[in-house]
Amino acid sequence: MKHLSFHPAHDRTSAAALPLAASIFNELHTKSNRRDFSLNWLLPTMIMFLFSQTLSAQNLLKMKKQIIQTTAGNIAIFIKQHPSQETPIVFLHGVYFDHRLWDKFTSQINDRTVIAIDMPLHGESVENIKADWNLDDCADMLLQVIDSLKLQQVIAVGHSWGSMTILRAAGKAPDRFASAGLCNMPFQAATKQEKRNIKIQHTAMIFKGFYMKQAAKALMSKESLTRHPEMMQQLIMPMSKMPSKAIRYTDRAVRINATDATPLIRSLQVRTMALTGESDYVGTPPLPQAHIVKGGHVSPLEAPEEVYNMIRSLMSR
């Protein structure tokens, strides 16, 4: 998500706001002449799907799907119930991903109830979704999920859009959150140029396979993709299931129409930790416990150890 960073010293937006649009228009004229180019992603995607299914099979057996009706629509959640009195923990993914982004983390937490949410128009949250939902609706959705499960408080951990949702929900009802972990959170409004870039990117959606690869390259650091090329498929797999219309609408609601959240951060009454990638295009939020970690904009995949350490810290108090 292309937003201005908060601290000038960490401002990578000017260098990173254009990568997807530039890549598309630099390569589109050559790629479009290759008959098989739009299918290049299919085989690795299928392999990655089978591989991820095998890795998470045990966790999937424990995580039970529920559909919760909210004002944003019918939201799919995946819950691993535990009878302990420890504060439940809820995970929210970012744009183009689904609840599986958090599989490695949810499978390791066995001392409390664990919930992973599919955000609107993502994963299995595709039925009766409100036509004109926005970030405030997402915050209300999260609070309604907590209410529906009859939970007094939760620990909330988010990635990008998920973090934006948690911030707004915690601003509305701070007493419902014991603590929060915000990974790669955009918090400043997009500039006019950034909004134009997003619209330019959407023109390449007719070449969806190529578009998804370029999205992965824009979100994750070059070093991460070089060392772990399978990470690209972890984005392509859920994104490939999304209709182009859903991608465009989500980008508009989450990226183009997002307002400056700096005042929300400064007034936050919930104990919060934040992580930002060293080559992330979002800045470091103005929080006392904000840390820069290796990688780009997808810390749950690029810096899993640091994310898990944050989660353990949130759960320890």
Condensed to tens digits (0 to 9), the pLDDT of residues 53-108 reads 555 555 555 899 999 999 999 999 999 999 999 999 999 999 999 999 999 999 99
Question: What's the rounded mean pLDDT across residues 163-173?
Answer: 98
Pick left, alpha or beta for residue 87 (phi over 0 → left; psi -120 to 50 → alpha; otherwise beta): beta
Residue 19, pLDDT > 80, answer: no
At 161, is the pLDDT very low, low, confident or very high (cuts 50, 70, 90)?
Answer: very high
At 37, is the pLDDT very low, low, confident or very high (cuts 50, 70, 90)?
Answer: very low
Instruction: Read off the pLDDT of residues 250-289 as tens digits, 9 standing for 90 and up.
Output: 999 999 999 999 999 999 999 999 999 999 999 999 999 9
Provide the 8-state DSSP code for 95.
Answer: T
Strand pairing partners for 68? Answer: 75
Question: What's the rounded mean pLDDT across residues 160-168?
Answer: 98
Residue 6, pLDDT > 70, answer: no
Instruction: Report residue 182 as tokens.
Output: 């915000």
Strand pairing report for 89-92 and 64-70: unpaired
| DSSP per residue, 128-165 | S--TT--HHHHHHHHHHHHHHTT-S-EEEEEETHHHHH
Which pLDDT score is estimated for 50?
Answer: 55
Query: Cα angle vertex 18, ends 13, 23, to 5°?
Result: 145
Question: Domain coordinates of the chain in residue numbers?
Answer: 8-315
Which pLDDT score is estimated for 317?
Answer: 72
Task: State the alpha helices, DSSP H only, in the chain.
Answer: 13-16, 19-31, 42-55, 57-62, 103-106, 135-148, 161-172, 192-202, 208-219, 222-227, 230-239, 244-250, 262-266, 299-302, 304-315
Question: What's the rounded mean pLDDT across residues 104-118?
Answer: 97
Q: Are 125 and 72 in contact (CB under 8 A)?
A: no
What distance in Å separates the CA atoms of residue 235 and residue 296, rounded to the nearest whole number? 14
Strand pairing partners for 179? Answer: 155
Which pLDDT score is estimated for 10?
Answer: 33
Which pLDDT score is estimated for 235?
Answer: 97
Range with lowest mean pLDDT among 19-33, 76-90, 110-124, 221-235: 19-33
Question: What's the rounded mean pLDDT across residues 113-129?
Answer: 98
What distance in Å separates the CA atoms of residue 63 and residue 304, rounded to the nearest whole number? 20
Instruction: Read off the pLDDT of residues 209-251 as tens digits, 9 standing for 90 and up.
Output: 999 999 999 999 999 999 999 999 999 999 999 999 999 999 9
8-315 under CATH 3.40.50.1820, yes or no: yes
